[in-house]
Structure 1
Amino acid sequence: MPKRKLGSNDSAEDLPQKRKSYAKNDINSSSSSQESFSICDNAAKDEAEVGIIEQVMVKNFMCHTLQDIKFGPQVNFVTGRNGSGKSAILTAIVIGLGGKANITNRGNAIKSFIKIGKHSAEVMIKLRNHGKDAYRPEAYGKSIIIERKIAKESSSYKIKSCSGVLISTKREELCHILEHFNIQVENPIVILNQETSRNFLHSKSPQDKYKFFLKATQLEQMKRDYSCANESKEIALEILKQKKQTLPTLEKEVSEWEHKYKALTSLKNLQSRMEKLKDELIWALVSEQEKGIEPIMKELRLEEARTPKFHQKIKESEEKLHSKQECRSTIERELKTLGIHVESIEPQYREARVLKDKKKKLTKAASHEVKKIQNDVETMERDKQSILARITEIQNSAQQDFEAENKARTMKILQLEEQIKEICARKQSTQHELEQFKCAVGKLKKDSAQVKAENDELHHRRNELCRHLQTLESSRSNHLRRFGAFMPQLVQKINQTDVFHKKPIGPLGVHFSLKDQCWALAVESCLRSLMHAFCVHDHHDEKELEKILKSVCFTGRVPVIITCPFQNKVYDVARYKPHTNQYPTVLEVLNIENPVVTNCLIDQRGIETVLLFHSSTESRNVMADHPPQGAREAFNQDGDQIFCHPFRYYSNNQDQVRILVQSVEQDIRQCRQELSSLDDKLSKNQETSRKINQQLQIQIQEEHKTQTQIMRLQEQSSKTQMELRELCDTEEPVPVDVKTLEEEVSILDSSLAKQHEHLAMKQGQYDKAKTELMECEKRFQKLDTDMSIISEQTDNIKYQLALAENAIQIAQNHKQHYDSKLKEHEKKISDLRTKCEEDNAELERQVDIAEKLCPRVKTKRSSQNLQSEIKQIGKQIIAEEKIRGNHEEVTKKYSEMKESYLSIRQEVSQLASFLKALQRVMANRERQYVIFRRMIAARTKVIFAVMLGTRRYSGKMIFDHRKESLEINILPSAVSKETCKDLRSLSGGERSFATVCFILSLWEAMESPFRCLDEFDVFMDMVNRRISMDMLMNVAQTQKARQFIFLTPQNISHINVDPSMVRIFQMQAPERGQSVLTFQSSEQSNGKLTCDDDNDDHYHDNDDETDEQTNQHLGGRLS
């Protein structure tokens, strides 16, 4: 609980006088009759503006799951049966306003207030904050919401504005609010809980009652404040004593330093001479700075004179770029012309191919028809011969026994049927074998093709290795052969020629090496043709080198020529490097001694921006998801190329280092080992191919044999079926009559004649189709040859176009190079100009400073000479100061000691005066405290007696301030002649009435904005309860600026009060099995609830409420 403080305008003497006058007025007013008695002398005022409780809401607190109560500004009754949770609301007010658990008499720990089965509890209290006495109204508004959350481990505060905005979570802010509103949470009279209201007069000793009186009237707090003030006074007296003891010592030290200060005047001449030399030194430095600007100005003029040359270079590069672009346009036009030609020929080519295929199909069909007719003719000839033989046989066997013939024919038919079944079974088995042979042949053909492809790949690889081995072996004697067989001759011819302005540098791959051999394949994949390229100084050297290349390079790849002015300084590319230290760039892994080569690779390939990665996975992840700033391209150790924005990945088709080999001998050995391994693989593959082909031939032969066997079975089956048909068609023998067979022979002769005519016609059609097919094939062959020639021409032009594109790229690089050089040149001019301006500005500033320090001094001496003389004079001054002390230090020390002495002397004087006044004030306050305590006690006794008189009781309060005790004696009947009784002898109702009288007498000495009483009338009879209620309501009517909260389990319907100032809340005990308390106003009728507050619209008139619907906000006014 914060201490109560004095106002800034109240002196220590004023407060007791004010309370004394206040008490005297109240005592005088008590002389009137009981009917006209008024508890306080204040005039009726409007309701309170600050500090009263507007709303209390609890969640999972004690017996409440969720309860919300909105209090009125004056009188509030909370009624309900025992156990309905009334006292829990009062406890929530104490806990919510920062009170401790032990002052509630409900528990020793704050966590004990959490409802059983819940993990935390919450208490929300809304305080009014209106009017001129509001606390920080600009932040909180018209209300202050205080929320306290209680957990099993700790509790926390949230202090919000009226709109719910969080202002603070600190307890200190809550203490400031309570102190500002004078809310005394721990004052037992402000919030009188159930236990205290029932038993404190009965169970407390006189000493406890006296302490209760002091605490309720804040006299105890005042006494503690006086004790603290006296302790502070004693500490100040001790400090004053110590400072008085140090004053003589300080005075002596000040006198000594004053003597030293007066003895230092002889050093002033030397110091004056030094000051003049320092002035001269200042202007000497200015003069030297003026001379230092001239070289920079000269360099600026030279650089400005070089500007036209840069513009000329850019113009030349633009003209060359334009020329190359014109060349590209010409090639593109040629390519377009060829494209048009192809478009004109291609329809004829497609038409010829379609017609050729069509004629081939027709020829094939005609051939099939001719063969079919020939087969029919052969069949008809065989049938004719068979019938003729039958006629002869019939004529020869006419005389045989017909019955024996018929029996023999029947037996023959049965044999033929068995033969047909056997042939069909053999044919089906043979057909299955044929299918197996076909599958085996197909598989062997596929294996053979696969082995052949592997052999081709191995042969290609072996040829490459042979060429590479040949290059390596030739590079033993001359490493230039790694760049091509012609390269040594080319370099020798370049060295022997003197036509160059500057000798070309190349091939570029000779002029650098790797710091780490693991990057060899990646660097070769990155630089590629640039490793064979040559760098020339200007276009004249480029033309001369082209002549030499034409005379030397007849076959193979021609090296690229790069025009780049030779410089002895490497470009500054630090600002273009990717922002990463984890992955190196190509530039960082190369050892390049020649700056021209470095600059060329930077211009042509941008090696300062190309990153290198160890693994493919790492390169994909980094470049795809989070590429470092400034990185545009990357390679991994396998030579794979990766781009970002957008992400692309190209695999490397070169798996061996060609040029950047670390050891030629080691590479030769490795290459030979690979060749030997390849030869072994080729031998094995050839053997495998031989075996596969051998098996393939065997399977093909078996397939042919099986097909022949099937054809034989087919012929045998046909022959047997024909014989079977003939036997089945044989009729009973009649007298020899071969007329029918002869007619069949005639029919066959007629059919044969027709078939021969048809065969002649089809043969003619076949010969015609074959002739047309040959003509179509000749036409298609001619068009195919033309298309091949055009394709070769197109490929050649495309190659020329690629060369032109490369030339344009080189020209663009040259232009970009010169543009960059011009920008660097302009930047250098700008930097020099800025430097000149800054130096001139600095010179002007130095001149201004020097002029402010002293007038200009003409001097021919150098600054070094002047500094030497200043040092000599300084040494003389130091020697003098060693004897007499440093002038500045002595002056400073003397001033500091003197100022300190005077300051301490003044502080001692002021502190002594203050302590005398404080001692006088404290003595006066202690006297006034005794008077004030006596008057408060007298006022309390009078009011207590008057309150007892309302029930015709008599009694007295006996204060013994020396023993710090308070005894209360009461005689229940004023007409009785008995002596006053001790409180212990009173009945419960009498003691409760005495408690109310005692509380009302103490309320007059208390300034809290609200008062709370819990079950003050629990032991009263109806008469005492009615009188007590009238007394409380009378106090409430005369103190409208105070809020009263009364908790009682009794029925208060008999009270006649003003509905505008009284609000009654009735709490119902939970029914059996109900876990949440319901809350309703006294105006409940017929299952309906009424409330004057417009905001409380969360009501239920349904009896079947669930646990989720226990959140009722009930309130009302007594109508």
Structure 2
Amino acid sequence: MSYKFKIVSTRVLRLILESDKKELTTCKTIENTGSTRDQYHTAVGTVQHAIHKSKDEHYKLGREEQDAKNSVESRKKQLNNLRASRTNQLKRFGESMPALLEAIEEAHRQGRFKKKPVGPLGACLRLKYPEYALAVESCLKSLPLSFCCDNYRDEQVLQTLMSRYFNSGKRPQINVCEFSNQVYNVKDRAAYHRDFQTVLDVLEIDNPVVANCLVDMRGIEKVLLISNNSKAREVMQQQRAPLNCREAFTAAGDQVFANRYYSSEMDRARYLGSDVEAEISQLELEVNNKMAQVSHFQQQLHSVEEEIKINETHMKTKQMQIRKIQGSVTKIKLEITDLENVDEPQSVDISTLEEEMQDICQRIESHKEKLEQARKKMDVHRKILDEAEQKYKEMKEKINVIAEDADPIKDELSKIDAEVGKCKHHKRHYEEKKREHMDGIDKLKENLKNKETILEENTAKAKQIFAERIDVTRTPKSIDMEINRLRERINREQERHGNKEEITRQYYDVLERYKNVKSQIKNLKRFMQLLDKIMEERHKAYKIFRRYISLRCKYYFDSMLSQRGYHGKMSFDHKNATLSIAVQPGEGDKAALSDMRSLSGGERSFSTVCFILSLWDTMESPFRCLDEFDVYMDMVNRRISMDMMLKVADSQRYRQFIFLTPQSMSSLPSSRLIRILRMHDPERGQTTLPFRPLDQAEDSDE
């Protein structure tokens, strides 16, 4: 019994030792897995750094691409303005500039300006020396697009007009300065140098307002223009600056002060250039170069995006591996916790312990296999990590090499793009020449084909005379001489006897013309008879229509007179083209109608109004005007006449009625259809009209 207990105790002790050994092995596995996890974390951090760096480069390339696109759009807009300026020079200052100037002219005609604004100022300038165009524009900056106003009220009106054609941030500048007919005297304060001129000297300015504005705003009399940069530095910085000279500009547009130097951001003149075609060609070349740069940036962006995608995929793979390793570590730690929680084994049956031992051995073998698999996976992942690190190092080295070589390559690429643009220009030129030569060749081929056709026709005609071609030894010149001699003989014979075929042909031609003329005369007679019949029908219809119009006029005249209790009669004599009117006022004898001359002034005015309204009803016109119709009417006749005219006007709203009267219109009913315009009363006691003398008016217009 004691022996059995010892065996059991030994086995239990061995199990405990094996459990401790297993726990120790598991701890080592955890340590190895933790080391592998740290390596993966390091690799992920490296990949993340590479991704951030690639994204920074992607952002930088995107900014450069957007800048290039903006530059392309700006140059395309300038190119369109230059092309449009071929027909209208004002379009060089903007697409909306001609419309704005038309609006200013219209507002000036309407009297909205005290003095018409002047601008754009660049349209009022002319250069004596075209090579200084860029320098002058660099000096004036935005002033060539600006306008000048005499007062602030005119400025507000001009601002309102500009808001129709320009956005608030892109409106031309408005300079307010009192207009003067004399240019400032700047001789005492102008800059002077014996070799160079000022901006004011190289400009031809006809308008004194423009010259004074540039002197006030920019001080152009104190700015020198120097041809090259080195000379400008020598004059302004290496020796004492010229008298009254504040600054200088080079032909390239650089700005030079006594103690500093600023390079120009402009590469060409936009408003003062004289050779439009050369500027268009230069802009087209610049647009092509910028488009090539945009394409290059897009390719680089695509390459960087692919690199970012590859690195992100690699990072996701490493993160998944880290999560798997983390899961394995957590599982092993749980097993360690389970082992630590196992109590010391009690004296149990040997068979139970043996079963447990076998189970534990199986678990140990299973864990060994899993450990071996984990080691193999770790080796595979380590190889992948090494390969990824190697690729990252290679990629980083390539990126560094590319970054070092980028600037000279960009410069070389710009030069190549410029050369490609020139080559494309030459290619288009020579393709045009080739097209012209090909057109000439096609014309010559067509001419040759026509000659061959003529030759074939002449050969066919010759075969009609003689079927076989005769070989001759005579020269073409001698054959031509014989042909001419035979033709002369034939002509002499025809002159003596006449040509039968020609006479026969002439006879048939004359006969055909005779038949055609006879047929045309017959058709014309029928047409004349038809026209006579049509004219008779039209004349009958005209008489009927004239009679109906006369009756309608009489009816309306009598009905309108009846509203006042008058009676009237109108007599139309269409034969003698006369019209007579007789009116009987009041309830008198209708037969005792009197002439218009026997009526009073008010009765005659009322009758005239009735007559005019009856005539208006028989004619078509969109406008009806009547002047001083109620001068001699009393209040009753005037009220009745006004009611009649307003009633007629209300029934004919598609026409416009205009009534002129010196009487008060306050008694008229209020309506949205009636508009009363009252002129100001004239000044009493005025002996002379306020007209200006002719010479003063001319001075004002100037």
TM-score interval, normalised by the smaller of the two chains = 0.3 to 0.5
Q: Which structure's CA Rg is the greater one?
A: 1
Of structures 1 and 2, the one scoring higher in RCO (CA 8 A, sep 6+) is: 1
Length-normalised TM-score, structure 2: 0.42
Structure that is richer in helix per residue: 2
